[in-house]
Amino acid sequence: MIGLVLALVLVGLAVIAPGDPLALDVDRGLSELGLPLPPSADAPLGTDHLGRDVLARVAGGAGTSLGVAGLATLLSLLLGVAVGLIAGYAGGWIDQVLMRLVDLVLAFPFLLLAILLASLLRERGLTSSSAPVVVTLALAGWTTGARVIGTKVMTLTRSELVVAARALGASPLRIVLRHLLPNVAGVIVVVAVVGFAQNLMAESVLSYLGLGPPPPDPTWGRMLYEGKTFYRTAPHLILVPGITIMIAVVSFHLLAGGLRSIFDDSEART
């Protein structure tokens, strides 16, 4: 419940988005020395080096970061579920080939693979939108879902439910869609939430390294990078996005843990 509440707060912040994250206010948003202002009544989370409201930028960054992580999770989930269903149901050499492909991708650390793919796309000049980041995270993160779902489907394939369906002449497509997919829905939801948290962290890392969504859209990772120059004079510029990233990742991990417990209890009762 804590994870759910925190996740809803972040989503609500992205939807409401108080203020314009791109609005410059050099006259009132900076001190006499041209430094960012600390939190105040006018700017609850302070201002940045260009006089922009940090609260508005955090809210705008929530929309960008959550949107990129959500799209990447959806694409990686579609690929992972498809591979997992095919490998788990077909078995034999098909399962061996697909799982060896999964092992090959898993041999690379997730963040390093994401940085490599993002760098390759950047070299080709594909940096005018968030699409390269979404594709990068999707290609780097589909393997976990494929492995977990494939293992679960392989177990279900040997169950009496599937054996009876085969005996009645059900086609493989019908068995997969009617009997296997509904029974792995809980696993898919948990994998999706965990993958979302992973993609959220990875998007922040890519943005910090300059490989994330292009400006002027604010992102938490880029805010962290821009604020590191002022860590002495304006520590709120690194504390606010850093704490926001931490809360976001922890909240979705807590939510995934709670959902896993619910589905495990449901399976135990059945």
31 in any annotated domain: no
What is the rounded CA–CA span in Å between residue 56 and residue 69?
20
- Residue 158 CB neighbour total at 10 angstroms: 10
* pLDDT computed for residue 247 by the predictor: 92
Question: What letter does residue 218 receive in the DSSP assignment?
Answer: -
Judge whether 179 and 161 are in contact, CB under 8 Å.
Answer: yes
What was the pLDDT predicted at 127? 56
Query: Using CA of residue 253, residue 255, residue 258, residue 264, what is the dihedral sign?
Result: negative
CATH of the domain at 112: 1.10.3720.10
Considering the domain boundaries, does residue 68 fall inside one?
Answer: no
3-state secondary structure (DSSP) of residue 5: helix
Residue 30 lies in a domain: no
The pLDDT score that the predictor gives to residue 73 is 92
* Tokens 């098909």 -> residue: 94
Judge whether 96 and 107 are in contact, CB under 8 Å. no
Quick check: is 190 in a domain?
A: yes
The span from the CA of 69 to the CA of 205, in Å, is 12
Rounded to the nearest 10 degrees, the angle between the axes of helix 131-141 and helix 54-90 is 40
Is there a contact between 21 and 215 (Cβ–Cβ < 8 Å)?
no
Structurally, the chain folds into a number of domains equal to: 1
**Tens-level pLDDT at each residue, the chain (270 residues):** 898 999 898 888 888 877 778 777 777 777 777 788 888 888 888 888 888 888 889 998 888 888 899 999 999 999 999 999 998 888 888 889 998 888 888 888 877 888 887 777 766 655 556 777 888 888 888 888 888 898 888 888 888 888 888 888 888 888 888 888 888 888 899 999 999 999 999 889 888 888 888 777 888 998 999 888 888 888 989 999 999 999 999 999 999 888 888 877 666 565
Return the closest-CA partner of residue 145 out of 99, 76, 197.
76
Is residue 67 domain-resident? no
Q: Would residue 164 count as lying in a domain?
A: yes
Has residue 26 been placed in a domain?
no
132: in domain: yes
Look up the domain containing 196 and give its range: 81-269
Extract the tokens encoding 186.
């809980």
Which amino acid appears at position 183 of this protein?
Answer: N
Q: How far apart are CA 57 and CA 6, in angstroms?
A: 19
